[in-house]
Amino acid sequence: MVIIINSQKLAKFLGYKAVRLFILLVAVAAVSFIMVEISPINPVKSYAAEMGASAQQIAALSAYWQVDVPLGEKVVSWLADLLQLNLGISLIYRIPVVNVIIQKFTASLVLMITSWIISGVVGFGLGIIAGGTRGSWIDKAIKTYCYILQCAPSFWIGLIIMLIFSVYLGWFPVGLAVPVGTMASDVTFWDWLIRLILPAFTLSIVGIASIALYTRDRLVNILNSDYFIFARARGENHWSIIIRHGIRNVLLPAITLQFMSFSELFGGAVLVEQIFSYPGIGQATVAAGLRSDVPLLLGIVLISTIFVFCGNTIADILYKYVDPRMKGDENE
Amino acid sequence: MSSLSKLNPLNSMNLRQKTILLIGLIVLLLVLVYASSLSIDPANILTDFTLRNQPPSFEHLFGTDWLGRDMLTRTIKGLGLSIFIGAVASILSSILAIIMAFISSVNKYGDVLIAWLIDFFASIPHLLLLIMISICLGKGAMGVIIGVACTHWTSLARVLRVEIKEIQTSEYVQLSEKFGKNKFWIAKEHILILVITQVIVGTLLIFPHAIMHEASITFLGFGLSPHEPAIGIILSESMSYLTTGAWWLAVFPGVMLLIIVLLFDILGEEVEKLLDPTKAQK
């Protein structure tokens, strides 16, 4: 399959998307800042409580947080800081927010991408099997399994997996955090891999349901199509038609759907990281929220917005420019 | 075969009757859970230190926790709370969706504004937005309800927006306009009447998500306060006792929550079948 992409159109589209992302980020930054501002959280007080600041430091902090400045001005100056990538200093980690986010987000990205790929491949496979054997007990079993999975809260699945693998089988330590007193840089590759397995496993299981059900529905539609019935009439083998006609037609929409699931992926990662104490962005989110680390929380909101936006944009590109069936619309 | 099928009353019913029967059963079950949770007085959940961490038995079907409280009673109480919060949140988000859809139908600028708002809410991960809203409103039930309502209106609003656009171009609406009926009257008499099916089904389908998100956010510590008998609280407390082998603390409340979510999901689909006959044929 040769993919011909109209590069000029794509460039225009990407430029349009970049402008949209910029406007979106400004809006998200402003709204989330205002939300934290009107909340009962007092950043100066939580700073003072966390660090034990003196009266002088509190005065300096009040000046930094511009306690007496009206809201409108504050938002503008926060946005101006943001443009210079100055997100402030995280009060929990005591290093610039940008550094915290880079460090934590890389860890989470590994977790999310691993489970994203696994859930995509397994989910697609299950969907094809269920669609190909529709009406049989295999189809019913896969459907029931996905249906139940969709209705189960992801954090509960995490708890059950921890119960089975850590508590009963004892294959993994409970909590799975880095041994106390070990620097992040001293963690060996092996330590890190062990910490990754259960969270990635949980997140993959949670992600399978929607993609499998979608693939199954699409494939069943294709099985009812004229070209499928014709291929059958030619005497082709059932599974070879599915491989030749079915998978080719379902794959691209399925990948598109998978890219659009970044929002749920992020939400799932937050819950799963919290259960398995995986030191990623999700755990940082919860810590920042519970301990009122306002700069970090705002930073995380921005980075997650970019993350979700990227997923949606890739899905758009796949849908509009890569899918050959959309070529007709494009030429209009 | 034929004599057996005559004996089974289900076989003599048509699909519509079966659907109504199923809806009735599910509603009965949910009402039962809710009623029994209302009948439980929190003061009656006794702490009994002689019965700490008891595994499930006939006396305590779901076992007891570290304070000797009966887990079955706590779970039912928590489910009642989940259903209540889910109901309020999904009704609120439907109302929000209806308002947004109508704003988008007023004129071009309204449409652009709503399309942008939908994009805006869809571009922040739901869980993060929930956390932000909950923090903004100072945690507690209020924060959860508003948060869930604010994050779940988009899907229904999208459907309604398209639906309303279609109805607006129909001949009888244009005729109505020519008769001099004002926009508000048309919206009420012509449009709302037709989209009410979508609204009911949409509300029911938001329900399972609302319940799950409430539990998740409470589990993380941003939702209901630890004094409330919520499922999220029960599960997050259970985490500290899992290592000692108290599996029943996590398994049963979770399974019950799953069943409630599943029931609402099936209810939504069955009601959709009943109200929208074209869907039932599939």
Q: Is A296 strand, coil or helix? A: helix
ipTM summary value: 0.81
* A209 interfaces chain B, CB cutoff of 8 Å: no
CB-nearest to A156 from B132, B208, B235 is B235
Residue A28 and residue B124: Cβ atoms within 8 Å?
Answer: yes
Residue A151 and residue B208: Cβ atoms within 8 Å?
Answer: yes
CB-nearest to A162 from B242, B254, B258 is B242
Q: How far is CA A16 from CA A20, A21, B15, in A?
A: 6, 9, 50
**Considering the domain B17-38+71-277 in this protein, what is its CATH number?**
1.10.3720.10
Q: What pLDDT, in 10s, does the model give residues A155-183?
A: 888 888 888 887 777 777 665 455 444 55
Length in residues, chain A: 332
* A108 interfaces chain B, CB cutoff of 8 Å: no
Domains of chain A: 2-83 (no CATH), 97-331 (1.10.3720.10)
- How far is it, in rounded angstroms, from Cα B66 to Cα B242? 12
Query: Which residues have CB under 8 Å from B257's CB, separation 6+?
Result: A153, A156, B79, B82, B211, B212, B215, B231
Q: Residues B200, B274: contact at Cβ < 8 Å?
A: no
Q: Give chain B's end-to-end CA distance (angstroms, integer).
A: 27
Residue B207: closest CA among B89, B81, B36: B89
CB-nearest to A35 from B119, B136, B222 is B136
- How far is it, in rounded angstroms, from Cα A306 to Cα A24? 9
Digit-by-digit pLDDT tens for chain B (282 residues) are 455 555 666 667 777 888 888 888 988 988 888 888 887 776 666 666 666 666 777 666 677 776 667 778 888 888 888 889 889 999 999 999 999 888 888 778 888 888 888 888 888 888 888 888 888 887 778 888 988 898 888 888 888 888 888 888 888 888 888 888 887 888 878 888 888 888 888 888 888 888 888 888 888 888 787 777 788 888 888 877 777 777 778 888 888 889 888 888 888 888 888 887 666 555
Q: Residues B79, B265: contact at Cβ < 8 Å?
A: no
Using CA coordinates, name the residue in chain B closest to A36.
B136
